[in-house]
Structure 1
C-alpha cells in the first residue's frame, strides 16, 4: 500500500526561554512544546495529508498561541484540502482566526505566525507558505527550495533576515494575505524538509543537504537538530521530514 512517512521534531533551541513553534501532521499536532526524540508517523497515501510548521513571531505577544491556533485549524480542515484553492482558502481562514483571537484578548494584540507546509495527495503535492518558514525538496542535485520567502531583500553580505513581509496576523488591524501555493508531481522516493527558520538561518543549505544525503527519517531529523544546536541554537527549531513510499 502506498504510504507517507512524517518524522517530526520541535525544540526551543539554546537561547529562547520557550518554544513558539507548532507543527501539524494529519490529525496530529505538536504545539509550543519540546520533543525529546524525533517522532515518526506513517500514513496511507491517497487522501489529503497536511504537514506544516508554524513559527510564532518573536518580539510580539502570543506567538505560541498564533502558531498553535494555525496548526490546529489546518488539522481540522486537512482532509478537505484537495486542491490549490482549498489550501488558499484554509490559510485565509487561519489568518482570520489569528486576528479574531487577538481581538478577543488585548494582551494578544499583534500576535502572528508564519506557516509553511505541504498537502500530500495521491499523485501530487501542494506546497504552501506565508512568511519565511520553508519547504525544501531533497533531490539528487541537492536541496531545492520550493516555498517562497516573504522577506525583504537581503542587505549586502547578509545570508538571512528576521524580517517578514507577510504573516498570519501580526498587525494591530486586520491585514489580508496572499498565500504562496504551488503544485508538484509526486513519485515514490520523494523527500521534503519542512522547517522553521530556527534551522535554516543558522545552518547553511549545503550543510542541510549533506545531512540529508547521509541519513533518513529519525536519524536525519536528529542530525539536522544537532547542526542547528552546534551553530548556537539561536531560535526555536521545528522540522518535519516527509517521505513518499510505495
Structure 2
C-alpha cells in the first residue's frame, strides 16, 4: 500500500525570543512550540491529507495566535480538501477567521500570517500559498519552487525581502485574498519541502538543493535546520518534508 511520510521540525532560531510559526500534518498541529528533534508521521495514501506551515507576521501583534488559528482550521477542514476550489474556499474562510478573532480582541488588531502547503490526494498534489512561505518540489536533482511568493519585485542583486503583498489577516480592516492553488500529478518517490522564510531567507535555494540531494527524511530536516542555524538563524524555522512511498 502506498503511504505518505511527513517529517517536520519547528524551531525559534537564534534571534527571536519566541516561535510565531505553526504547522499542520493531517490532524496533527504544532503551534508556537519547538521540536527538539525532527518528528516523522506516516499516513495511508487515499483521503486528502493537508501539510502546511503558517508564519505569523513579525512586527505586528500575536503572530503566533494567527498562525495557530490557521493550522487548526486547516486540520479541521482536512478530509474535505479534495479540489482546488475546496482549498481556495478553505483559505478564504481562514482569512475571515483571523479578522474575526482580531475584531473580538483589540489586542489582536492587525495580527496576520502567511500560509503555504500541500494537500496530498491519491493521484495528485494540490499546492497552495498566501504570502512568502514556500513549497518546493524536491523530487528531481534540482529543487524547484512550486509556490508563488507574494512579495514586491526585488531590486537587482537583492535575494530576499521582509515585505509581503498579501497575507491572512494583517490589516486594520478586512482585506480579501487571492490564494495561489495549483495541481500536480503524484507518483511514488515524489518528495516535497514546505517551509517558512526562516529557512529560505538565510539559506540560498541551491544550498537547500545540495542538502536534499544527499539526505532524506529526518536527516534532511535536521541538516536543513542546521544550515539555517549556521547562517545565523535570524528567524523562526519551520519545515516539513513530504515523501510518497510505494
User: Which secondary structure state, in structure 1, belongs to the residue aligned with residue 192 of structure 2?
Assistant: strand
Query: What stretches of structure 1 move > 2 A for 4+ residues in a row?
Result: none
**Residue 144 of structure 2 corresponds to residue 138 of structure 1:** no
| Residues 21, 56 of structure 2: 8 Å contact kept | yes
Q: Using the TM superposition, give the Cα deviation of residue 141 of structure 1 relative to its aligned residue in structure 2, in angstroms.
A: 3.8
Q: 1:232 matched to which residue of 2?
A: 232
Whole-angstrom distance in 1 between the partners of 2:71 and 2:155: 32
User: Which secondary structure state, in structure 1, belongs to the residue aligned with residue 143 of structure 2?
Assistant: strand
Whole-angstrom distance in 1 between the partners of 2:156 and 2:140: 30
User: Which secondary structure state, in structure 2, belongs to the residue aligned with residue 221 of structure 1?
Assistant: helix
How many pairs does the alignment contain? 246
| Residues 141, 209 of structure 2: 8 Å contact kept | no
**Residue 6 of structure 2 corresponds to residue 2 of structure 1:** no
User: Within 5 Å, which residues of 2 pair with 1:72-91?
Assistant: 72-91=72-91
Q: 1:184 matched to which residue of 2?
A: 184
Q: Using the TM superposition, give the Cα deviation of residue 140 of structure 1 relative to its aligned residue in structure 2, in angstroms.
A: 2.4
Whole-angstrom distance in 2 between the partners of 1:10 and 1:139: 23
Q: 2:38 matched to which residue of 1?
A: 38
Q: 1:28 matched to which residue of 2?
A: 28
| Residues 54, 196 of structure 2: 8 Å contact kept | yes
| Residues 139, 189 of structure 2: 8 Å contact kept | no
Whole-angstrom distance in 1 between the partners of 2:140 and 2:194: 18
Q: What per-residue deviation string (whole Å, max 9, x for no partner) do you get for residues 96-115 of structure 1?
A: 00000000000000000000
| Residues 53, 117 of structure 2: 8 Å contact kept | yes
Mark the runs of 5 or more structure 1 residues left unpaired by the alignment: none
Q: Using the TM superposition, give the Cα deviation of residue 54 of structure 1 relative to its aligned residue in structure 2, in angstroms.
A: 0.1
Q: Using the TM superposition, give the Cα deviation of residue 157 of structure 1 relative to its aligned residue in structure 2, in angstroms.
A: 1.6
Q: What per-residue deviation string (whole Å, max 9, x for no partner) do you get for residues 35-83 of structure 1?
A: 0000000000000000000000000001000000000000000110000
Whole-angstrom distance in 2 between the partners of 1:43 and 1:9: 17
Whole-angstrom distance in 2 between the partners of 1:155 and 1:97: 35
Alignment root-mean-square deviation, CA: 0.5
Q: What per-residue deviation string (whole Å, max 9, x for no partner) do you get for residues 131-164 of structure 1?
A: 0000000132400000000000002221000100
Q: Using the TM superposition, give the Cα deviation of residue 224 of structure 1 relative to its aligned residue in structure 2, in angstroms.
A: 0.1
Q: 1:212 matched to which residue of 2?
A: 212
User: Which secondary structure state, in structure 1, belongs to the residue aligned with residue 35 of structure 2?
Assistant: coil
Mark the runs of 5 or more structure 2 residues left unpaired by the alignment: none
Q: What per-residue deviation string (whole Å, max 9, x for no partner) do you get for residues 2-41 of structure 1?
A: 1000000000100000000000000000001000000000
User: Which secondary structure state, in structure 2, belongs to the residue aligned with residue 139 of structure 1?
Assistant: coil
Whole-angstrom distance in 2 between the partners of 1:138 and 1:219: 15
**Residue 58 of structure 2 corresponds to residue 64 of structure 1:** no
Give the TM-score taking structure 1 as reference length: 0.99
User: Which secondary structure state, in structure 1, belongs to the residue aligned with residue 183 of structure 2?
Assistant: strand
